[in-house]
Structure 1
Amino acid sequence: MSSGNRPSDGVRNVGNQFGTFGGVFTPCVLTILGVIMFLRFGFVVGQSGLLLALVIVTASKIITLLTTLSLSAIATNTRVEGGGAYFLISRSLGPEFGGAIGLLFFAAQALSVAMYVIGFTEALMFFLPEGTSAMLVATIANVIVCGCVWIGAGWTLRIQYGILAAVVLSLISFYVGAFQSFDMETLRSNMGPSFTGNESFWSVFALFFPAVTGIMAGANMSGDLREPGRSIPRGTIAAVGVTFLIYASQAVFLAGAGDRQALIDDNLIISKIAMIPLLISAGVFSATLSSALGSMMGAPRILQSLAKDRLFRSLNPMAAGSRKDGEPRRAVIVTGVIAQSGIMLANLDTIAPLITMAFLLTYGLLNLATFYEAITNNPSYRPQFRYCHWTTSLAGAVGCGAVMLLIDWRWATVATGLVAVMHWYLTRVGITTDWGNLSSGLLFERTRQNLLKLEDDLYHPKNWRPFVLALSGSGFSRPHLVVFGHWLTSETGILTLGQVIPGELGDHQQRLTSQERILHTMIGDLGLSAFPAVVVAANYTRGVEALVQCQGLGQLRPNVVLLGCPLQAERMQAFGRLLRNIEGLQRSVIVLRQTDDPDEDMSAPTGTIDVWWRGRANGELMVLIAHLILLNSSWRGRQLRLLRVVESDAGIEEVDLHLAGLLKEARIPGVTKVVVSSDSTAAIQTTSRNAALVILGFQTPADSDDEQWLERIDALAGDLPRVAFVRSAGGMLLKS
């Protein structure tokens, strides 16, 4: 998996060089220990009780830990650039999934800024004069956060060291105060749940989960880390472990030191319990602002990374960074505007569940990407992080999906639908990128497994499908064979366009490569579902025989060889030998004799498809070929006619019933016609003169019968513009 080369935005991005503690651990810890811990965790414990609160904390941490393991695996498997989760997902699942989830993740990060600013405002309002506008305070706080990040990530991260110290002091104050107030009777009374109003386990879970989503704070800074492959795993796992211990122990102390009703009603219950309430206030202000800073630093970098990849044209201006260190200042402004919109339109309790869905969807896709990387056995998947297995990634993905549905299946459906719509849009646009992703690896592994299964199951006559090797010649010099092969295989089969270059391989290696490229380009330009195959051989016959023998994999190999009809007697000796050799290789043959040029748009000619029946030896394949061609959209509305020549009127009814029975038995729509004539050649010419295609059977000529065979073929085809002569090698049944 390669990171690829992004289009240049004209600015030299020197980038920052942060280490594990400052660039990953500190932002993660401060984002996790944020507004939910100080202003809503008491509510979580009060509503759910201690035991369920521990279940909520543990389940949340398990999901984030599993996601961290997946994050660490991908981060140590590729050169990580800016964009965090977006970058990692897009380089694994491709630009369509990456672009879809990248936009959603960016929006969630931007709204997280609003959530943290609202939390900061709620805490600050207790210290401001009555009548102060909360909206004004939140707006000022949002502007300050934007300003800090505008100056640069280096300055912002240095601020966070002081914030971390304030949070640590506030936690010490809480633990000391809670220890002094701890009462076992209070603890026992707070063990079980006591949900009020419309609250439930899952609504409380949805409220709490955003508290643990800070695991991406370090990954979002991936482009500014000195060693992202080393710092992201170590810093993120350490942050998950440390904050789990903090939340679990805090739940125990809250349950033992706080009255249940106070836990539910008082958003500042932690301050009431703490030894020095002022330190809690400082911690609240510091934690909420630091979380807002962390999200404000991460969101613009996701937007900038999306813009650099040119996935959405309207985002291209966001790719620009500052000249000195590549800071995404334009994206900072956009993030600030979105955060301000969230501040104006919502409150803390309504924003949190929406952010939860976006984060869970991002985590689920990140786990899914790692799962697919592992199970496809991609040789390029060589993560240095060894503590991630496909089972843990799958468990993380399933866990994220299950929690989304259990929290609120409606919002889960909306979030998934948004990603699906954006994925569809990017797929339709046809994004071209120069980085690899696991889609091709997944497709290869699935194809490999299917080929191995087909090795034993493919050739039951019921499963017969046309795998056609059409000798199209140099640069489609036989276009009628290309068109006919397309008609026959476009709905149900496989078409290979073969070309033989006469001569020695050593003299034509460059031409071989060139012709393969030309064939591949022509296939793409014409919109064909086909594969090119070019071989160098001493002569044409040897080359065709080599293609027939060597094309395909295992049992999946050409079963029909499509040839043009020789029009000169001098070519018949070589052609007859080729037909005999192909018969010896047990391949069916179609020799197409066409006197007009096919339409450039490959549209079907008007008229019927006439199949002249002379028995099952070739007849079953002839009828099946006609049916498969009629499945092609350009042949829609045409009709299959199954015909036979008899010498007297006495056999008409019996033969007609037989032909109708064949079509009914085969469940193939068509009409039947019995022609009375002592001259079958003349009957074919007269009856099928307006047919779009005539299909006749033939027998392979003997050594001494080559020229006579060509004469018979010419006589049968006569003036008919399009005749396919078929010799069946068996392997299919009309009745199945």
Structure 2
Amino acid sequence: MSQTPGTRDEPNGRFGTFEGVFTPCVLTILGVIMFLRFGFVVGQAGLVYALLIVAVSKLLTGLTTLSLSAIATNTRVQGGGAYFLISRSLGVEFGGAIGLVFFLAQAISVAMYVIGFSEAFVGSVPSGLSVTVLATITNVAVFMCVIIGAGWTIKLQFFILATLALSLVSFTVGAADEFRLLTLQANMASQFTGGENLFSMFALFFPAVTGIMAGANMSGDLRAPAKSIPQGTLWAIAVTALIYVAMAVLLAASRPGPLLTADSLVVADIARWPLLITAGVFAATLSSALGSMMGAPRILQAFAKDNVFAALRPFAHASGTHAEPRRAILLTFFISQLCILVADLNTIAPLITMCFMVTYGLLNLATFYEAITKNPSYRPQFRFCHWSTSLAGTVGCLVVMFLIDWRWATFSILAIGLLHWYISCKEVEARWGNVQSGLMFERTRHNLLRLEAEMHHPKNWRPIILSLVGAAWDRPYLATYGHWFTSGHGILALGQVIHGDVQDRYSRRFAQESLLDETIRKEQLEAFPAVCLARTLQEGIESLVQCQGLGALRPNTVLLGWPRDPDRAKVFGNTLQTITALQRSIVAMRVTETIEDAWAAPQGTVDVWWRGRKNGELMLLLAHLLTKNTAWRARPIRLLRVIENEAGCEDVVEHLTTLAEQARIRVQPQAIVASDPGQAIRDTSRNAALVIMGFAAPQEGEEVVFYERMQTLAADLPRVVFVDSVGGMSLDS
């Protein structure tokens, strides 16, 4: 995850949704396969299977786009497309492996589109050139267009889109004239010949729909990638799905199956104005080649910038004012040219299918992983992706790979596995004996060391709470709320201090820790026991806060109860000062009612009283984490602010709304006009399930005054959480 939400524009972005995402996706999807191979697919598979192939292809790419949209709206998307998204979710090992595979798939796609263009040109225009020679000339021309810069190429695609639309009109008019119901009925069933089958037809067709990444590959050049990628890609999938379904029906009704299979230019033969089809084939294939020639180098450039392989570092170089990846463009050209010289269209298409299926599967897996690990920073604004859809996309890609060709599927997975192993383990020695426990220990050790270097970043902040429940266990709600704040998202430790001159204090400590551990199991808490011996309570708290935990997993927040006895105000204030001096956030719970069932969530709203980001970020994040629990899920969060003037209401509500949108947290923003903030808080939150307010620890000598002031502020509110944050988290992450 990045530390800022995807809603913010990239500072150097040049393109919007239509020109930057929708147009490249549509032009790549409606490419060489549609004009030169879709008739073959319909003729071989029949209309029913052809529609099934289209439906499954669109389902897989649709599920992948949901995952793509979720990740794109949860991070500031930079250059690199799928590589960037996967590497930032699953880590550089998976990202690096898929980065190479996806780059090669895009580079090979250039060859596929160029060969398709050359086949169409040789079949339509007498030139005396072979397909290979013409493909080489075309590849050089595409390379020259892209090396000039993406801005010029994007403008060229508008002309290509218009040409493509006219060619589809020509085909539709011609097919309508030749529509025969008997022909349609005859073409309903499959007519496989030459060893073809349903899965070989799927492998041949699937590259036609892989253009969904054309927009994402330009992520570094988009003004607002988090908005443009989901909207542009989903619209492109929907529009092209309708075109392919209509085209399959019209093809099946216009020509017998053998003619569809035998004639690669059957679309031109059916069209009213064949010259427009020829122009459409040229436009579609060239635009797809241009899109892949633009996308592949940007993937390689982003991969090289991460310095995963030192040998690829030169390709991170950026040229010109718009940071064009010209070195990577040159390598893409050489790879595509090599494929032109050694392969044909039918050989390249299944290879690209496997590369894209692996990429899509890992992209879905990345989103599934983000969702099920309940990372607090995973708050995508795109709401139509669920872990189940991501899992379905992952499994679907895997199943289809093996149905197409189990040998290529096995090879692809092994290749990804070897790349992952090489990136992650090239300098790691195997030092474990027992396979299961040893591997678990080694992985835990490795992760702790990584956390030590990475946990400081705001995007990685998680609640690691030390809850001071007390030896008497007279405030069980401190354990319950600690569990709710951390369940599935962080780590909870229940702390007790044994202080004073206690005989047999070491035996007492072990007995108390054993009792605490038993209580944790009995109450089914996700927590660890922490018991400390000390001369005074304050010394014990200081020791616990400093020493509890391991490495980066030391507590960042201390949860403690608010004293009921005013005589304890001085000691309580000193405790707050100690915790603040140790740079830990404080969550102090004040509960005035008798709680019979600590696990019963009270009715009402969760009210967060906003006074700024200093404490507000942690307050709102705790409210969000609380409502992720089943017991609190139906409790809405109200984000409230007291103002003195009615005229400022609209601006305050707009500010709170923007704040919540950037945080990707659903709230009910509200401005309260009042001259007495304390009274306004008490009146507004009287029936709230929980009230969350900020505070600052008292200065030395002001402990009693501080206690009385906070008591007056909370008054008769039954459940109040006071928060003093030292930072470390960010709502934008």
Q: TM-score, normalised by structure 2?
A: 0.60
Relative to structure 1, the CA distance from residue 422 to residue 272 in structure 2 (aligned partners, 3 Å threshold; closer, same or farther) is same
Equivalent in the alignment of 1:233: 230
Task: State yes or no: 1:188 paired with 2:185.
Answer: yes
> Which AA in structure 2 matches 1:401?
L
Relative to structure 1, the CA distance from residue 147 to residue 242 in structure 2 (aligned partners, 3 Å threshold; closer, same or farther) is same
Whether contact under 8 Å (1:93, 1:439) holds in the other structure is: no
Whether contact under 8 Å (1:73, 1:386) holds in the other structure is: yes
Equivalent in the alignment of 1:366: 363
Equivalences for 1:609-620 in 2 at 5 Å?
none
Report the 3-state secondary structure (helix = DSSP H, G, I; strand = E; otherwise coil) of the residue aligned with 1:80.
coil
In the TM superposition, residue 429 of structure 1 has moved relative to its aligned partner by 4.1
Equivalent in the alignment of 1:17: 14
Equivalent in the alignment of 1:683: none
In the TM superposition, residue 509 of structure 1 has moved relative to its aligned partner by 7.0
Whether contact under 8 Å (2:296, 2:332) holds in the other structure is: yes
In the TM superposition, residue 15 of structure 1 has moved relative to its aligned partner by 3.8
Whether contact under 8 Å (1:83, 1:306) holds in the other structure is: yes
Relative to structure 1, the CA distance from residue 262 to residue 223 in structure 2 (aligned partners, 3 Å threshold; closer, same or farther) is same
Task: State yes or no: 1:173 paired with 2:146.
Answer: no
Instruction: Select 1:120's aligned residue among 112, 117, 121.
Output: 117
Equivalent in the alignment of 1:153: 150
Give the Cα separation in 2 of the matches to 1:279 and 1:209. Answer: 25
Task: State yes or no: 1:259 paired with 2:256.
Answer: yes
Whether contact under 8 Å (1:14, 1:326) holds in the other structure is: no
Whether contact under 8 Å (1:125, 1:134) holds in the other structure is: yes
Report the 3-state secondary structure (helix = DSSP H, G, I; strand = E; otherwise coil) of the residue aligned with 2:194.
coil
Give the Cα separation in 1 of the matches to 2:86 and 2:205. Answer: 25
Whether contact under 8 Å (2:180, 2:254) holds in the other structure is: yes
Equivalent in the alignment of 1:2: 2
Instruction: Select 1:164's aligned residue among 161, 167, 177.
Output: 161
Whether contact under 8 Å (1:92, 1:438) holds in the other structure is: no
Task: State yes or no: 1:351 paired with 2:352.
Answer: no
In the TM superposition, residue 323 of structure 1 has moved relative to its aligned partner by 3.3
Give the Cα separation in 2 of the matches to 1:261 and 1:54. Answer: 18
Equivalent in the alignment of 2:279: 282
Whether contact under 8 Å (1:93, 1:437) holds in the other structure is: no
Give the Cα separation in 1 of the matches to 2:341 and 2:533. Answer: 71
Give the Cα separation in 2 of the matches to 1:124 and 1:365. Answer: 37
In the TM superposition, residue 449 of structure 1 has moved relative to its aligned partner by 7.3
Give the Cα separation in 2 of the matches to 1:68 and 1:83. Answer: 16
Report the 3-state secondary structure (helix = DSSP H, G, I; strand = E; otherwise coil) of the residue aligned with 1:246.
helix
CA displacement, residues 597-633 of structure 1 (integer Å, 9 cap, x when unaligned):
xxxxxxxxxxxxxxxxxxxxxxxxxxxxxxxxxxxxx
Whether contact under 8 Å (1:16, 1:154) holds in the other structure is: no
> Which AA in structure 1 matches 2:366?
A
CA displacement, residues 633-674 of structure 1 (integer Å, 9 cap, x when unaligned):
xxxxxxxxxxxxxxxxxxxxxxxxxxxxxxxxxxxxxxxxxx
Instruction: Select 2:60's aligned residue among 63, 67, 87.
Output: 63
Equivalences for 1:302-313 in 2 at 5 Å?
302-313=299-310
Relative to structure 1, the CA distance from residue 416 to residue 438 in structure 2 (aligned partners, 3 Å threshold; closer, same or farther) is farther
Task: State yes or no: 1:296 paired with 2:332.
Answer: no
Give the Cα separation in 1 of the matches to 2:555 and 2:23. Answer: 56
> Which AA in structure 2 matches 1:22?
E
Instruction: Select 2:389's aligned residue among 387, 392, 403.
Output: 392
Alpha-carbon RMSD:
3.8
Relative to structure 1, the CA distance from residue 239 to residue 531 in structure 2 (aligned partners, 3 Å threshold; closer, same or farther) is closer
Whether contact under 8 Å (1:3, 1:91) holds in the other structure is: no
In the TM superposition, residue 311 of structure 1 has moved relative to its aligned partner by 1.2
Equivalent in the alignment of 1:412: 409
Equivalent in the alignment of 2:441: none
Q: How many residues align?
A: 478
Whether contact under 8 Å (1:24, 1:231) holds in the other structure is: yes
Give the Cα separation in 2 of the matches to 1:512 and 1:448. Answer: 20
Relative to structure 1, the CA distance from residue 344 to residue 372 in structure 2 (aligned partners, 3 Å threshold; closer, same or farther) is same
Whether contact under 8 Å (1:25, 1:236) holds in the other structure is: yes
Relative to structure 1, the CA distance from residue 2 to residue 499 in structure 2 (aligned partners, 3 Å threshold; closer, same or farther) is farther
Give the Cα separation in 2 of the matches to 1:53 and 1:257. Answer: 15
Report the 3-state secondary structure (helix = DSSP H, G, I; strand = E; otherwise coil) of the residue aligned with 2:405.
helix
Report the 3-state secondary structure (helix = DSSP H, G, I; strand = E; otherwise coil) of the residue aligned with 1:126.
helix
Give the Cα separation in 2 of the matches to 1:440 and 1:64. Answer: 33
Whether contact under 8 Å (2:533, 2:540) holds in the other structure is: no
Equivalences for 1:86-97 in 2 at 5 Å?
86-97=83-94
Whether contact under 8 Å (2:377, 2:459) holds in the other structure is: no
Equivalent in the alignment of 1:214: 211
CA displacement, residues 338-380 of structure 1 (integer Å, 9 cap, x when unaligned):
1111111111001111110111111111111111211222211
In the TM superposition, residue 133 of structure 1 has moved relative to its aligned partner by 2.8
Whether contact under 8 Å (1:497, 1:532) holds in the other structure is: no
Whether contact under 8 Å (1:33, 1:211) holds in the other structure is: yes
In the TM superposition, residue 127 of structure 1 has moved relative to its aligned partner by 3.7
Relative to structure 1, the CA distance from residue 223 to residue 449 in structure 2 (aligned partners, 3 Å threshold; closer, same or farther) is closer
Equivalences for 1:22-33 in 2 at 5 Å?
22-33=19-30
In the TM superposition, residue 507 of structure 1 has moved relative to its aligned partner by 13
Whether contact under 8 Å (1:86, 1:102) holds in the other structure is: yes
Equivalences for 1:427-576 in 2 at 5 Å?
427-429=424-426
Report the 3-state secondary structure (helix = DSSP H, G, I; strand = E; otherwise coil) of the residue aligned with 1:324.
coil
Relative to structure 1, the CA distance from residue 253 to residue 506 in structure 2 (aligned partners, 3 Å threshold; closer, same or farther) is same
Instruction: Select 2:43's aligned residue among 46, 52, 74.
Output: 46
In the TM superposition, residue 16 of structure 1 has moved relative to its aligned partner by 3.9
Task: State yes or no: 1:201 paired with 2:198.
Answer: yes
Give the Cα separation in 1 of the matches to 2:85 and 2:326. Answer: 23
Give the Cα separation in 1 of the matches to 2:297 and 2:535. Answer: 60
Equivalent in the alignment of 1:107: 104
Report the 3-state secondary structure (helix = DSSP H, G, I; strand = E; otherwise coil) of the residue aligned with 1:162.
helix
Relative to structure 1, the CA distance from residue 23 to residue 363 in structure 2 (aligned partners, 3 Å threshold; closer, same or farther) is same
CA displacement, residues 455-482 of structure 1 (integer Å, 9 cap, x when unaligned):
9xxxxxxxxxxxxxxx9xxxxxxxxxxx
> Which AA in structure 2 matches 1:347?
D
> Which AA in structure 2 matches 1:424?
W
Report the 3-state secondary structure (helix = DSSP H, G, I; strand = E; otherwise coil) of the residue aligned with 1:388.
coil
5+ residue gaps, structure 1: 5-12, 456-470, 472-494, 522-529, 534-736
In the TM superposition, residue 387 of structure 1 has moved relative to its aligned partner by 1.1
Report the 3-state secondary structure (helix = DSSP H, G, I; strand = E; otherwise coil) of the residue aligned with 2:333.
helix
CA displacement, residues 665-702 of structure 1 (integer Å, 9 cap, x when unaligned):
xxxxxxxxxxxxxxxxxxxxxxxxxxxxxxxxxxxxxx
Give the Cα separation in 1 of the matches to 2:415 and 2:324. Answer: 29
Give the Cα separation in 2 of the matches to 1:286 and 1:152. Answer: 19
In the TM superposition, residue 448 of structure 1 has moved relative to its aligned partner by 6.9
Whether contact under 8 Å (2:203, 2:404) holds in the other structure is: yes
Whether contact under 8 Å (1:497, 1:531) holds in the other structure is: no
Whether contact under 8 Å (1:215, 1:236) holds in the other structure is: yes
Relative to structure 1, the CA distance from residue 3 to residue 102 in structure 2 (aligned partners, 3 Å threshold; closer, same or farther) is farther
Relative to structure 1, the CA distance from residue 280 to residue 428 in structure 2 (aligned partners, 3 Å threshold; closer, same or farther) is same
Relative to structure 1, the CA distance from residue 448 to residue 405 in structure 2 (aligned partners, 3 Å threshold; closer, same or farther) is farther
Equivalent in the alignment of 1:590: none
Q: TM-score, normalised by structure 1?
A: 0.60
CA displacement, residues 553-603 of structure 1 (integer Å, 9 cap, x when unaligned):
xxxxxxxxxxxxxxxxxxxxxxxxxxxxxxxxxxxxxxxxxxxxxxxxxxx
Report the 3-state secondary structure (helix = DSSP H, G, I; strand = E; otherwise coil) of the residue aligned with 1:150.
helix
Whether contact under 8 Å (1:14, 1:325) holds in the other structure is: no
Report the 3-state secondary structure (helix = DSSP H, G, I; strand = E; otherwise coil) of the residue aligned with 1:358.
helix
Whether contact under 8 Å (2:65, 2:212) holds in the other structure is: yes
CA displacement, residues 13-66 of structure 1 (integer Å, 9 cap, x when unaligned):
974410000000000000000000000000000000001100000110011111
Whether contact under 8 Å (2:305, 2:313) holds in the other structure is: yes
Instruction: Select 2:379's aligned residue among 374, 378, 382.
Output: 382
Which has the greater radius of gyration? 1
